[in-house]
Amino acid sequence: MTILVAGGTGLAGSAIVRELQRVNKKVIGISSKDVNLLDRVKTFSYIKDLKPNVIIDAAAKVGGVGSNNAYPVEFLSQNLQIQSNLMDAAHEAKVEKFVFLGSSCIYPRNCAQPIKEDYLLTGELEQTNSAYAIAKIAGIELIKSYRKEYDYSWISVMPTNLYGPNDSFNLENSHVLPALIRKFVEAKQNNLPEVILWGSGTPLREFLHVDDLAKAVLVCLEKYDDPQQINIGSGDEISIKDLGQKIANLTGFTGKVVWDSNRPDGTPRKVLDSTKIHKLGWKAAITLDQGIAATVEWYQENK
């Protein structure tokens, strides 16, 4: 059995490739250097020639609040193209299993907490990343549609905020946790007196190490077969302010932390209800302290 991981060099994809290799599965991880998934003809040709049994779609244009808010056209259009090209190509090649990775930002901005799968499309989205969220919601709907029309065992998984090795630490487009790691590491190295962070620091977030996600994806691949998306979260939440202080401590930064309240906060609170995947036998194993310490070390060695 051949498993193709699209986005196989990115944050989530590389972790899934490592986990599949660990359990001795035949896996091929691809990036845009192997095939441009925005090119429909090349995508169809690649999948037809490879004939994988399983496709795990971890390929996406991703970024933090700032880049999502600044480039909504790219986040909506490119993600729609990537996922539809890959799913349509998989259909033509009669791929047995397809796992679509979405994002917790698909849920309404002011959702009841913790967020259940049933809360999808029950309220307005967070406007700073609504374009990306709508693209991911469209991916869920396309998975459901292929299941309904062609009786495929294709599924959608919705991870919470991810972090770990191979993340993007580019301050222009990174997510909050890697951005904080880079800022505090550089401030420590350069003996800066203060670090300026976005927003008020009050939003609550849940974070999941990608190695835990990878194990969850394999559990879903083996045990989950339902049209509804399934949440994957750690269950632990932390304020951005406390997260900043935790990363400052772990990097050894002792200066002042300044919060720029003129910058957007994003969704006020976001923690997933992961009861469904817990019932399948998976729970997150890596604590936030363990995961951040390992990620700081990885960044310092690989930046």
The domain that contains 139 carries what CATH number?
A: 3.40.50.720
Residue 294 lies in a domain: no
What stretch of H or E contains 55?
strand 54-57
Looking at the domain assignment, is residue 247 inside a domain?
no
Query: For residue 247, what are the contacts with CB-CB under 8 A and spacing of at least 6?
Result: 177, 180, 181, 184, 292, 296
Residue-level pLDDT at 7: 98
Residue 146 in any domain: the answer is yes
Q: What is the pTM of this model?
A: 0.95
Count of domains forming the chain: 1
Look at residue 175 and tell me if it is in a domain: no
Q: For position 44, what pLDDT does the model report?
A: 98
For the CA atoms of 123, 127, 129, 132, the dihedral, rounded to the nearest 10 degrees, stands at: 60
Active-site positions read 132
pLDDT values of the chain reduced to their tens digit, one per residue, 303 residues: 999 999 999 999 999 999 999 999 999 999 999 999 999 999 999 999 999 999 999 999 998 777 888 999 999 999 999 999 999 999 999 999 999 999 999 999 999 999 999 999 999 999 999 999 999 999 999 999 999 999 999 999 999 999 999 999 988 778 899 999 999 999 999 999 999 998 999 999 999 999 999 999 999 999 999 999 999 999 989 999 999 999 999 999 999 999 998 888 888 899 999 999 999 999 999 999 999 999 999 999 998
Beta strands in 59-211 (DSSP E): 97-101, 155-159, 161-163, 194-198, 204-209
The token pair that represents 248 in the structure block: 């400052």
For residue 190, being part of any structural domain is answered with no
Tell me, yes or no, whether 36 lies in a domain: yes
C-alpha dihedral, 194 to 196 to 197 to 199, nearest 10°: 130
Domain that holds residue 154: 2-163+207-234+270-285
Give the pLDDT of residue 3: 98
Q: Which of 54, 7, 65, 11 is nearest to 32 (CA)?
A: 7
For residue 256, being part of any structural domain is answered with: no
113 in any annotated domain: yes
185, with CB counted inside 10 A (0-12, 13-18, 19+), is buried
Please identify which residue in the block is written with the tokens 């070390």. Answer: 297
